[in-house]
Structure 1
């Protein structure tokens, strides 16, 4: 079967790309399960500077873009000592914390994320979907969704999230439902307490003295 000149030229362009760029170019657009259509709000592969319209660094933790990846680590020793002296060790920046802002009430978010640290000895890494509203906590044996500060707790054995390795994560949320997918394995949480009304952020919180890496973020509004 003959190959058209247009397809042949496009193939040459892809081959000329770097391996990472080739994979991104070849990756199909994510198809949501909870929405018939979506509107792209934000996309970032971290090839430039951090966009302050969509990101807010918390607890003076250290965040830099390095080799095309957003990488977070603990705050400075000076900041930690100052907060400890004030009696606020919980916000001294021992763990990297950053917020993704402008998250719609109904949304789809895809990204690659990695939490590094010493096993699970120093607590558990987590994602807050809405600030302390829908908390997804990762441990070695379970993934737990805690709603509205312990109003409801929904632990599941799968999908799990391992430390010290990259994971592809997808979060879809509409009122009453949160769909979590990690490396292609998914779980649907249904509860009347799932509601992003008045919330507009996703919080990334790593382990104490650990690091967090984020890449290839896309955020859509679900319609």
Structure 2
């Protein structure tokens, strides 16, 4: 968009009656030629085009396919790479949309949340189902949470006791409690009836 802005400004300051501008940035061309735009960089070139037309001159915008072997487009890419690698200068445009800022902040928050989640000493069973917090969010937001699902995902509900009977687990108790000698693995599993009809009390 910055390149198109500079090119149209140069046409405005010149005296040519007709100028053709070629660009491989299709989205930028659509922003400039669309009925309305909210892009901050598009307002100036659109105004310049209107003034050029008012003077009886014309500027035409064309889209060309990138990396298609067109001599002019390849030359422009070469000059762009050369400037980027050899010249140190401030960016012509370093602003970004609010949506991008929200995306960056959300990604940082998720990363911090993931570190706390992974390093925490609790929720080991839940981590087996959902190693990453964003995965848990995508799945759990689509289902209706019930007591049975909650007990399953957290490892409560008598599962340890059942697995211990078949020597598939060392202890019949949940990791969250100290054994109290009762049949209940923890307080969360009380009065929960599963489809098989068994009840832990």
Give the TM bin, normalised by the shorter chain: under 0.3
Give the structure-1-normalised TM-score: 0.20
Larger Cα-atom Rg: 2
Higher strand share: 1
Give the structure-2-normalised TM-score: 0.22
Higher relative contact order (CA 8 A, sep 6+): 1
Higher helix share: 2
